Every structure is written in C-alpha cells, then in structure tokens.
Chain A
C-alpha cells in the first residue's frame, strides 16, 4: 500500500457549499480594520515628534544637572566667596581680644631678654650661685606675678 497515493484520496474532503456561502456572507459583512500600515511620511512625522520630545527632555535634564552642580560648587568653595570672607574676617577680629595681645607681647619680650642673657653669660647662667642670685632677684619664693595674673584673668573672661 502506497501511503502517498492513499493520502491523496483525502483531497476529496471539501466544505459544504451551504457553509461556504453562509460563512463568506457573514465574514464580508464585517468591516476590516481600516488602519493601514504607516506610510513613510507618517513614520517621519512620528519620528520627528519623538525627537522633539526627547530633545526637550534632554534640555530639561541638562538644566537640572547644571543647577545642581552650581549649588554644589557654592557649598564646596563657600570660603572663596567675598561676602563670606568678609563675614569671617569680622568674626576673626572680634575673637582676637586685647588682653591676649598684651600677654603675647610681654612673654615675647621676656623670652628674647632671657635669650640675650644666655648669649652674654655663655654657660655662666648654669652656675648655681648665679642662679641663686637670679632667684632672689625674681623673688621666686613668691612666684605670683600680679601683672601676669591680671592678664590671664582678663584673657579667661
């Protein structure tokens, strides 16, 4: 038995004429979806509108990013802004008070005097007798120097 020959017999299967007529009539009553495939010009138009939207969005994004960056720069280099510097300077001068200036001047003088003496005496300042004499002169038993105390109190205030 040749299967191909046998299969060809199935070609006799056909739909009934009544069904064909009825089905065709019903189908053709329906309106097909009239939407045609977009033409070249329609495609170009849709692309250009998409491009416009993308471009606008891009510009907005750039503006947002740029604004953010400027704000960040202001924070990072705030010390370089003139107004801020002036403000800081006024605060700084207010902070430096007169008593501390006097104290630093006095102590500088004392230190330079001591250094001069050391230079003159060479190693004599290490002599015990000389040291004893200096202690006597400085009244080291009562080391409270009222002048320095007053300055320190003022400085603390």
Chain B
C-alpha cells in the first residue's frame, strides 16, 4: 500500500489530478504486468491498462474503502477489462505466435532472460484463469492472500487451495 494512500484517494476524489497521478505511478507496473500476463501482447496490454486507469479516474468517487484496498479495486477493473477484451476478441492468442521480444520490454538485450521468461509464461498459460490470477497477484505482484481473496470474492482458504494446486501443476509442467 502506498504511503498516504488514503489522503491521495480523498484528494483525487475531490478532483485533484496530481493526486491521482501519484496513484497511477505507483500502481501502473503491477496492473500492466497483471494484464500483460493475461493477454500476452504488449500493445493490447497497454490499451487495456490505459482503459483501466481511465475508468478508475472517471469513477474514483465510486470507490469506497471499507476494508477494501485501492489495489483490489484496480484489479477488479482490470479483470473486467480483460474479460470484456476476450469477449470481443473471442479467441486467445497463441503463445507460440508471440514474438519473445515482446515478452520482456525492459531486457531486450538479454536473450537468455527473454527465453527464460517465455518458458515461464508458457507454463503459466497452462493454468486455469483463476490459478493464473492468484499466481500473478501473489508471487509476481506481491499481493497478500487476504487482498486476493477480496479481489476475487473468495475465501482465503479457497485462494490458498488455488495457489497450492497451481504451484503443483507448475512444478509438473516445468519438470517436462
């Protein structure tokens, strides 16, 4: 959670663009990563991320804390955006067809890392949507189990079970 987040949210609610800008800066990497690992295409991930933050800014007054993290709210918007995206597209991109260069934006010069990430990405795509979401949120974006449970509207126990099954599956996939 960002320091002084509550204050920033209140300022953003009163229409202060600068306050929302700070929230944007803090959350954009993880929201982009979450979307990117679900759509596996940089341009589409950028478009969707842009839409998520635009919706969040437009509807900032609809956000109510009540024990619900701002990040959870952003993840919920992201999930809905991705669902809508696939509904419109009605076809999943074949990972094989994705240029590995697009998978790692910040490490274009590191071929070995690109390849490694591409392999992990491939393994991740073998998981169910929910398993994938839990893994991305918890192990990649460091979101707590409690907050994941709130975002996915499940119990913490259910999230732990999803995570356990996902890790088991990943182990098997990676052994191959």
A residues whose Cβ falls under 8 Å from a Cβ of B: 1, 3-4, 6-16, 19-20, 23-24, 26-28, 30-37
A11 neighbours in B (Cβ, 8 Å): 33, 140
Q: How large is the interface on B (under 10, 10 to 19, 20 to 34, 35 or more residues)?
A: 35 or more
Contact A9 B113 (CB under 8 A): yes
| Complexed CA–CA distance, A11 and B136 (Å) | 9
**B93 in the interface, Cβ–Cβ < 8 Å?**
no
- B120 CB contacts on chain A under 8 angstroms: 6-7, 9-10
The CA-CA distance from A3 to B149 in the complex, in Å, is: 22
Complex partner residue of A15 from B32, B107, B170, B174, CB under 8 angstroms = B32
Q: Does B13 contact A (CB under 8 A)?
A: yes
Beyond A24-B21, A28-B21, A37-B61, is A14–B105 a contact (Cβ under 8 Å)?
A: yes
* Interface residues of B, dominant DSSP: helix
CB closest chain-A residue, reference B172 = A3
Per the bound structure, the CA–CA distance linking A145 and B161 in Å amounts to 117
* Complex contacts, A23 vs chain B, CB 8 Å: 28, 46, 49-50, 53
A72 to B140, CA, bound (A): 77
Q: Is the CB of B58 within 8 A of A10?
A: no
Q: What is the minimal beta-carbon distance from B63 to any residue of chain A, in angstroms?
A: 10
Docked Cα-Cα span, A20 to B21, in Å, equals 11
Q: Is the Cβ of B105 less than 8 Å from the Cβ of A15? A: yes
Report whether A13 and B28 are in contact in the complex, using a CB–CB cutoff of 8 Å.
no
